[in-house]
């Protein structure tokens, strides 16, 4: 006798449905919370960077018919390609297929979106001025949102230093670059960014930049500089 209500309840759960897609997605999200707990995957929801072999050939690059950048985890085990969708006063916004966007100003990462602890905006010195100097001291402020949608700003004191000329290899191209190392320190955090500039210019070819206390670093390869259309 007690089994019957349980069976009916189970069928009710299985047959739950609606004519309204929004209601359906809301109910699924609610159910999803419990599923995620079971799978212990709540923090793995948005993994922008997919695990695959590191692409490193001209042939691979030729398949793209529009400008791309490649971002990668520092250990190069995971990466994603992004296409340019936004251009606002020379600031470029690149978007991944799963809805993450990264905005750069002359190679410096100034904003992320859809990346959990997003870099909402950045107060910074013009990159051309920094990259054309051999040594510079300056301030940077990273702006994030806390869980209550209020600003959480981290103020950094930075020093930038141009290092000796070196060669790097990107998708089978060997290029001479000037490495610019930026060291920034705040009361609680410290990061070291590295920018590889096309020798004698302020064009960033490759960089390793710190995003946020949670997301830490990722590498950016500005492959559009090497693409031919």
Partner 1 sequence: MYLRYLVLSSLTIVLFNLKLIKPLEANEFEDTASLNMYGMPGIIELPSATNLPDGQMSISSTVFGGTIRVNLSFQVLENLTGAFRYARIPGGSYSGYTWDRSFDLHYSLNREKAFVPAIAIGLRDFIGTGIYTGEYLVASKSLGSKLNVSAGIGWGRLAGENRFDNVFGSKSRKGLDVGKGGTFHFGHLFTGNNSPFFSVSYKINEKMKFISELSSDSYHRETSSPKGFTRRSDINLGIKYEVDPTFTLIATWMHGDALGISVNMGINPKNSPYYSGTEPAPMPILQEKYRSQERKLKREILDESQRLLGLDGIELKTMTLFGGTAKVGIINRKYINISQMIGRVVRILSLTTPSDIKEFQINIIDFKSNLFLSEIVVKREIFERSELKFNGPEKLWETVLVSNSKDSFFYGEEDGIERFSWSLYPYIDTSLFDPDDPIRFTVGAELLTKYKFLASTSISGSLRQPIAGTLDDIKRDPKTGLPNVRSDFMYYHRDISSNLFINYLTLDQYLKLSSNLYALVNIGFLELMHAGVRAEVIWKNNKKPYGFGLDIAQVQKRGTDGGFKLKNEHFNTYLASVYYDLQNDWIIKIDGGRYLAGDFGSTISIKRSFNNGWEFGAYATLTDVPFETWGEGSFDKGITIKAPINWFTGKKSRSYANAIIKPITGDGGAKLNLSEENYLYYRVSEYSNKNILDNWTRVFR
With beta carbons less than 8 A apart as the criterion, state whether 62 and 56 touch. no
Q: Which helix (H) or strand (E) holds 101?
A: strand 101-105
Piece of 52-60, 65-73, 92-100, 127-135 that binds partner 1 (CB under 8 A):
92-100
For 176, the token pair is: 């001479």
- Total site size for partner 1, rule CB under 8 A: 67
The single residue among 110, 130, 204, 211 that binds partner 1, judged by CB under 8 A, is: 110
- Site residues for partner 1, 158-177, by CB under 8 A, read none
* b/e burial code for range 8-31 (CB count within 10 A of at least 16 → b): eeeeeeeeeeeeeeeeeeeeeeee
146 binds partner 1 (CB under 8 A): yes
With beta carbons less than 8 A apart as the criterion, state whether 58 and 171 touch. yes
Piece of 57-65, 117-125, 164-172, 178-186 that binds partner 1 (CB under 8 A):
117-125
With beta carbons less than 8 A apart as the criterion, state whether 90 and 84 touch. no
66 binds partner 1 (CB under 8 A): no
The single residue among 5, 57, 174, 229 that binds partner 1, judged by CB under 8 A, is: 5
Residue appearing with tokens 């250990």: 75
The single residue among 125, 128, 143, 208 that binds partner 1, judged by CB under 8 A, is: 143
* Least distance (Å) between residue 29 CB and partner 1: 5
User: The dihedral of CA 211, 217, 223, 226: what is its sign?
Assistant: positive
Using the minimum distance from each CB to partner 1, give the nearer residue, 22 or 164: 22
How buried is residue 186: exposed, middle or buried, by Cβ count under 10 Å (0-12/13-18/19+)?
middle
Half-sphere exposure for 64 (CA within 13 Å, toward CB): 20
- Name residues whose C-beta falls within 8 Å of residue 2's C-beta, 6 or more positions apart in sequence: none
The single residue among 1, 53, 65, 89 that binds partner 1, judged by CB under 8 A, is: 89
With beta carbons less than 8 A apart as the criterion, state whether 224 and 69 touch. yes
The single residue among 55, 67, 73, 122 that binds partner 1, judged by CB under 8 A, is: 122
Sketch the per residue contact string, 187 through 206, with partner 1: x for CB under 8 A, - otherwise. --------------------
- For partner 1, the binding residues (CB under 8 A) are 5-6, 8-9, 12-13, 15-20, 22-27, 29-30, 32-34, 37, 40, 42-43, 45-46, 85-89, 91, 93, 95, 98-101, 103, 105, 110-111, 113-118, 120-123, 141, 143-151, 213-214
């Amino acid at each position: 006798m007690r089994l019957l209500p349980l069976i009916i309840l189970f069928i009710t759960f299985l047959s739950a449905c609606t004519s309204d897609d929004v209601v359906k997605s809301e109910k699924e999200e609610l159910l999803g919370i419990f599923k995620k707990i079971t799978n212990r995957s709540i923090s793995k929801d948005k993994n922008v960077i997919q695990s695959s072999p590191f692409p490193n050939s001209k042939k691979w690059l030729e398949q793209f018919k529009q400008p791309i950048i490649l971002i990668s985890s520092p250990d190069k085990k995971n990466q994603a390609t992004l296409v340019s969708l936004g251009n606002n006063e020379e600031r470029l916004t690149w978007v991944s297929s799963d809805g993450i966007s990264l905005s750069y100003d002359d190679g410096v990462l100034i904003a992320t979106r859809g990346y959990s602890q997003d870099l909402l905006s950045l107060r910074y010195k013009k990159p051309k001025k920094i990259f054309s100097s051999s040594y510079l001291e300056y301030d940077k402020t990273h702006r994030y949102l806390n869980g209550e949608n209020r600003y959480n700003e981290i103020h950094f004191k930075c020093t930038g230093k141009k290092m000796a000329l070196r060669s790097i290899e990107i998708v089978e191209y060997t290029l001479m670059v000037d490495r610019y190392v930026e060291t920034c320190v705040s009361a609680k955090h410290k990061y070291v960014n590295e920018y590889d500039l096309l020798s004698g210019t302020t064009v960033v070819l490759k960089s390793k930049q710190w995003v946020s206390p949670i997301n830490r670093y990722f590498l950016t390869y500005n492959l559009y500089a090497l693409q031919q259309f």
